[in-house]
């Protein structure tokens, strides 16, 4: 097999909560040094800040997150603008959890256009019925954000992170009631992005229920090759 040419990773990872976007983003970023931007991780990190380090907008955002509601578009967009350097990273970017509404997607398009950049969207395709099972089995290292799943990607020792031996916890927003709400939010507000990106002709679908390595390979194949004229 000929070696795979270097590829340009400017990707929006789109899909319902629990489909494996975070896991794939982590793997790809480790391998490629690409900038990983997860809006959910930004909000979770903010929870550890002292009250006076946390802007009123961010404190407000945490309330929405705890209830399983989406954070208002304006707050999310302000956070993203503070991280424009990540969007302009020469190594590319992987966006995980953003955009989540059509208004966010439109604002993101404007931000990309202002930087002369384009991104592909990878849809993690999955039957909604299996999502609750995937979410309720999820265990996270609160310090590093590393995610395991008791069935699909278990740690070697239950409750312990393989990498740093840290204790794994179940995120409060991965409890069953909150999950139902998050899935309903996804259907109502985020699923319309599938048609939005399909219409633009830059949506690639991957089977999110395939094993982890197969999904990674599908994502890599979806990215334009740097050796075949793609803009760097
Ligand atoms: P996630 O880790 O991506 O599932 O995000 C966890 C929670 O953070 C979501 O349920 C929302 O409350 C909030 N959140 C993360 N990203 C966004 C976004 N792009 N727009 C609105 N809320 C978000």
∠ Cα 58 180 106 (to 5°) = 50
Q: Is 66 an annotated catalytic residue? A: no
Label residue 138 by pLDDT band (50, 70, 90).
confident
C-alpha 226 to ligand 1 mean position (Å): 32
Q: Answer whether residue 231 shows pLDDT above 60.
A: no
Give the closest residue to 43 by CA, choosing from 91, 14, 81, 75.
Answer: 75
Is there a catalytic annotation at residue 67? no
* 90 assigned to active site: no
pLDDT at 198: 96
Taking each continuous run of H as one helix and of E as one strand, the counts in the chain are 10, 7
pLDDT at 18: 83
Q: Which of 64-68, 126-130, 131-135, 195-199 is most confident?
A: 195-199
Strand partners, 96: 13, 38
Handedness of CA 148, 153, 190, 123 (dihedral sign): positive
Least confident span in 24-38, 74-88, 126-140: 126-140
Does the pLDDT at position 106 exceed 90? yes
Q: Which tens digits make up the pLDDT trace of 139-148?
A: 999 888 888 9
Place domain 9-126+190-226 in its CATH homologous superfamily.
P-loop containing nucleotide triphosphate hydrolases (3.40.50.300)
pTM, two decimal places:
0.81
- For ligand 1, residues with CB inside 6 Å are 17, 39-40, 43, 64-65, 68-71, 76, 97-98, 100, 104, 173, 182
Of ligand 1's listed atoms, the one at least distance from the Cα of 99 is 19
The better pLDDT of the pair 232, 133 is held by 133
171 a catalytic residue:
yes
What are the domain boundaries of the chain? 9-126+190-226
Query: Average of pLDDT values for 98-126?
Result: 94
pLDDT in tens, 34-52: 889 999 888 888 777 677 7
Instruction: Read off the pLDDT of each residue in 205-215 and give the average, rounded to a whole number.
Output: 93
Q: How far is the CA of 87 from the centre of ligand 1 (A)?
A: 18
CA 185, 100, 203: angle at the middle one, nearest 5?
A: 115
Q: What pLDDT, in 10s, does the model give residues 179-190?
A: 888 888 999 999
- pLDDT digits 0-9 by tens, 145-183: 888 988 888 999 999 999 999 999 988 777 778 888 888
CA–centroid distance, 212 to ligand 1, in Å, is 23
Q: How far apart are the first and last CA of the chain?
A: 25
Give the ligand 1 atom nearest the CA of 65: 12
- Please identify which of the residues 7, 10, 134, 182 carries the catalytic annotation: 182
The chain-wide mean pLDDT, for the chain, equals: 86
Atom number in ligand 1 closest to CA 97:
3
pLDDT at 1 exceeding the cut of 90: no
């Amino acid at each position: 097999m000929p070696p795979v040419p270097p590829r340009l990773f400017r990707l929006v990872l789109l899909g319902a909560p629990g489909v494996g976007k975070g896991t794939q983003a982590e793997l790809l970023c480790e391998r490629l040094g690409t900038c990983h931007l997860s809006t959910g991780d930004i909000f979770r990190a903010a929870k550890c800040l002292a009250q006076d380090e946390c802007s009123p907008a961010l404190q407000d955002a945490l309330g929405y997150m705890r209830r399983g509601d989406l954070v208002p578009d304006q707050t999310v967009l302000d956070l993203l603008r503070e991280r424009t350097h990540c969007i302009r990273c020469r190594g590319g970017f992987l966006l995980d959890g953003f955009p989540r509404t059509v208004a966010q997607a439109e604002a993101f398009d404007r931000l990309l256009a202002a930087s002369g950049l384009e991104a592909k969207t990878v849809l993690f395709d999955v039957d909604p019925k299996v999502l609750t099972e995937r979410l309720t089995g999820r265990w996270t290292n609160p310090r590093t954000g590393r995610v395991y799943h008791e069935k699909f990607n278990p740690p070697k020792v239950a409750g312990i992170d393989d990498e740093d031996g840290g204790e794994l916890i179940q995120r409060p927003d991965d409890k069953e009631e909150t999950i139902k709400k998050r899935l309903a939010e996804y259907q109502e507000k985020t699923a319309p992005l599938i048609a939005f990106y399909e219409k633009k002709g830059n949506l690639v679908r991957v089977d999110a229920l395939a094993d982890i390595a197969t999904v990674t390979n599908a994502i890599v194949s979806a990215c334009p090759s740097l050796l075949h004229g793609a803009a760097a």
